[in-house]
Chain A
Amino acid sequence: EVQLVQSGAEVKKPGESLKISCKGSGYSFTNHWIAWVRQMPGKGLEWMGVIYPGDSATTYSPSFQGQVTFSADKSINTAYLHWSSLKASDIAMYFCARQASGGYREFDYWGQGTLVTVSS
């Protein structure tokens, strides 16, 4: 069974760093792109970008380029989303999603989400 399990909710202060994780199981982790998607409170889905765990290649949405960093550790089937300095505007639910490998590039499996709260 394919599963993406994300790390738990985080409460941080502005300016702090944060890394959240997404662990894949039940499939070949290195052969599927992983996307990160932001959902701000009461708002829609926003694509942040993707990472290919096989070689850590990345594509960032222009809206998020320079604001976050994607990484992956294929030895433990885990992808990461990292902030070096959080802002109040980073408050959101963050989802990881697996991109299907068949060529149509749909997001066929999603993690349960990680809620990030930033408050002084």
Chain B
Amino acid sequence: SYELTQPPSVSVSPWQTASITCSGDKLGDKYAFWYQQRPGQSPVLVIYQDNKRPSGIPERFSGSNSGNTATLTITRTQPMDEADYYCQAWDSNYVVFGGGTKLTV
């Protein structure tokens, strides 16, 4: 079965740039999606179709996807960005989530 691998944790200082990676076999041939989940809350879509931001998501959030790796980049990271982040892709008609990355600001 298809797997997506994320680092368990990433730390960043306020106002710096955070990068969270997601690795999977030929992931660049699929679309990558990213969700933010703050403690005690439901997930929120922050990036779809590799690099598109839903309305209401700050421009500080961006994404890329090439080869075997998708990356979520958060510039000028704020304390409010501290959360778990999950990548997701479709493998045929099945959804795969990465294990999640805890971002500490």
A57 to B49, CA, bound (A): 25
- Any chain B CB within 8 A of the CB of A47? yes
A110 on interface, CB distance cutoff 8 Å: yes
In the assembled complex, A106 has its CB within 8 A of some CB on chain B: yes
Contact with A along B81-98 (1 / 0, CB 8 A): 000101010100111111
- Docked-complex contact B45 and A61, CB < 8 angstroms: no
* Alpha-carbon gap, A1 to B4, bound state (A): 33
Residues of A within 8 A of B100 (CB): 44-45
Question: CB distance B43 to A45 under 8 Å?
Answer: yes
CB pair A104 B31 closer than 8 Å: yes
Assuming A44-B100, A107-B35, is B94 touching A113 (CB within 8 A)? no
With A45-B35, A45-B100 known as contacts, the answer to whether A107 contacts B45 (CB < 8 A) is yes
Considering only CB atoms, which chain A residue lies closest to B44 in the complex?
A110
Let me know if B95 and A47 touch, CB within 8 A: yes
A70 at the binding interface (Cβ < 8 Å): no
Chain A residues with CB under 8 A of B98? 44
Are B42 and A61 touching (Cβ within 8 A)? no
A111 within 8 A of B: yes
Indicate with 1 or 0, residue by residue over B65-103, a CB within 8 angstroms of chain A CB atoms: 000000000000000000010101010011111111000
Q: A13 within 8 Å of B by Cβ? A: no
Does A29 belong to the interface (CB within 8 Å)? Answer: no
Contact of B42 among A59, A108, A112 (CB under 8 A): A112
Asked if A46 is an interface residue, CB under 8 A from chain B, the answer is yes
In the complex, which residue of chain B has the Cβ closest to the Cβ of A48? Answer: B95
User: Which residues in A have their C-beta under 8 angstroms from that of B44?
Assistant: 110
Give the interface centre of A50, A59, A95, A110 by most chain B CB atoms within 10 Å: A110
Query: Could you list which residues of chain A lie within 8 angstroms of chain B, going by C-beta atoms?
Result: 35, 37, 44-47, 50, 59, 61-62, 95, 97, 100, 104-108, 110-113
Chain B interface (Cβ < 8 Å from any Cβ of A) = 1, 31, 33, 35, 37, 42-45, 48-49, 54, 84, 86, 88, 90, 93-100
